[in-house]
Amino acid sequence: MAYTRGNLAVQPKRKQEVNPLYREKTKVVTRRMVLPTQEKLLYMLTLGAFVLVAVALIWRYVHIYDLNMQAQKLDSKIAETQKQIATYQMEKQSLEQQVAVKAEKLGYIQPPEDSTIYVSTKGTAADGNDN
């Protein structure tokens, strides 16, 4: 038996049809695959869920950033206020020390520690020594 399957030279010729009734034409039709409505809705819902999660995360980060900014502003205000308090306390101490000196210049004297000062209801002061 001769080798005929792989060699075209010895392959027998096909019989040609004598009078075909119709001529076959092949046409390649490309159709786009249209997604079903349910699948489209599923994709849209999934995308919407991802967007909502992303928006929620971004909103939380913005809120945290805003809180941090407010905390920093409050810290700076507290530091400023503490400096002012320290200056006012220094002023208070110096003024307290000057009170006795100014009172002596104006002629006021300190009462003795053992004396009692009585204040009348009429608004005039009377001390226990009856001066």
Question: Cα separation of 73 and 79, whole Å?
Answer: 10
Give 29-98 as a DSSP string.
-----PPPHHHHHHHHHHHHHHHHHHHHHHHHHHHHHHHHHHHHHHHHHHHHHHHHHHHHHHHHHHHHHH
Q: Report yes or no: 117 and 111 within 8 Å, Cβ to Cβ.
A: yes
Q: Which of 100, 123, 124 is nearest to 110 (CA)?
A: 100
Model confidence over 29-62: pLDDT tens digits? 888 888 889 999 999 999 999 999 999 999 999 9
CA separation for the pair 90, 36 (Å, rounded): 81
Which letter does DSSP use for residue 121 in this model?
Answer: T
- Asked if residue 129 lies in contact with residue 115, where contact means CB atoms within 8 angstroms, the answer is yes
Higher pLDDT, 96 or 113: 96
Short-list 99, 116, 117, CA closest to 108: 99
DSSP-derived secondary structure letter, 101: H
Q: What is the pLDDT of residues 73-90, one digit of tens each?
A: 999 999 999 999 999 999
pTM listed for this prediction: 0.47
